[in-house]
Amino acid sequence: MHEFSLNFLRCVRCGSKLELDVFKKETEIEEGILECKKCALCFPIIQKIPVIWDDFSKYISERMVLGGKLFHSVSNYKMKKFLKHSLSNSKRNTDDRTALEERWSKIYQNSQKSKFYSIIKNELGAMSRSKLVLEYGCSVGILGSSLADSNQNVFGIDRSFSAISIAKKTQKENLDYFVADLMSDVFGETKFDLILALNVLELVEPKDLLQHISKQILKGNFVISDPYDFDRGKNSVKKSLDELALRASLEELGFAITVKTKKPSYLTWNLKLNSRTTLNYKVDLIIAKK
């Protein structure tokens, strides 16, 4: 984690500023604890990655394999003690997400050359420079590096530690990533000039996410895309949105949709699942402004 990020991070429970206790530091903070003195919540920084989760033990309970890997990777006694305590308080979940998240991290990493990302980069390149940029569901950081080249400060959040580990391999002084829930107030009341949410509406209730993001933009751009693939069995969202409903919802929140993206689009997004299998989506892109 870069130290400058401390100016923006807030406790996801009470919104208070966080205090930093550094255990290991080189060019970045590699191990440490972010602590909220008001509600006594602690957020670990492991392998340069802050995990800003309301209940770290619960996060690990769904990823016990990851928890074991993290415990063996850290060197500081305080961090080992923190992880040991968190693991002992975790209730083992039979559906451990570690392998699934590692698999999808590799899929996204192997799919970086999809034309979809080139189109998005071109659209972003045509926008004016922003002071603060945030990407929801940033995964392995495909867009982060190019965003950091043309904007002042860029942040990405994703719930997959595996994906963020890959994203962090691209090191830039104005670029940082965090493991966090998409609906948590990681940045408190900070307002952003540009926010991206690409292909994440299946992971959280769409209208809730739109309202959450709308509060973070007073004046700026919002880039959102989705293939509208909401059929996820028991994990499906309760209220999905189609092309028209998504645009109507954005306009209700005060966004003006650019002329270019008023009509639904069908951008090709290829995900290389393995050497013999490719998943082909047709993605709708919307660029909205306030």
- DSSP one-letter string for 100-143: HHHHHHHHHHHTTT-HHHHHHHHHHHTSPP-SEEEEET-TTTTT
Segment 216-235 shows an average pLDDT of 94
Segment 248-256 shows an average pLDDT of 98
pLDDT tens per residue across span 24-76: 999 999 999 999 999 999 999 999 999 999 999 999 999 999 999 999 999 99
Closest alpha carbon to 157 in 43, 24, 31:
43
List the helix and strand counts (H, then E) for the chain: 9, 12
pLDDT at 233: 83
Q: What residues contact residue 175 under an 8 Å CB cut-off, 6+ apart? A: 144, 145, 147, 148, 154, 155, 156
pLDDT tens per residue across span 132-148: 999 999 999 999 999 99
pLDDT tens per residue across span 163-201: 999 999 999 999 999 999 999 999 999 999 999 999 999
Dist CA 87 CA 75 (whole Å): 17
Instruction: For the beta carbon of residue 237, count every other beta carbon within 10 angstroms.
Output: 17
pLDDT at 213: 97
Helix (H) or strand (E) holding 158: strand 153-158
Q: What residues contact residue 72 under an 8 Å CB cut-off, 6+ apart? A: none
Residue 9 gets which letter from DSSP?
-
Which two three-digit tokens encode residue 23? 């255990």
pLDDT tens per residue across span 94-130: 789 999 999 999 999 999 999 999 999 999 999 999 9
pLDDT at 235: 83
| Domains in the chain: ranges and CATH | 3-96 (no CATH), 102-289 (3.40.50.150)
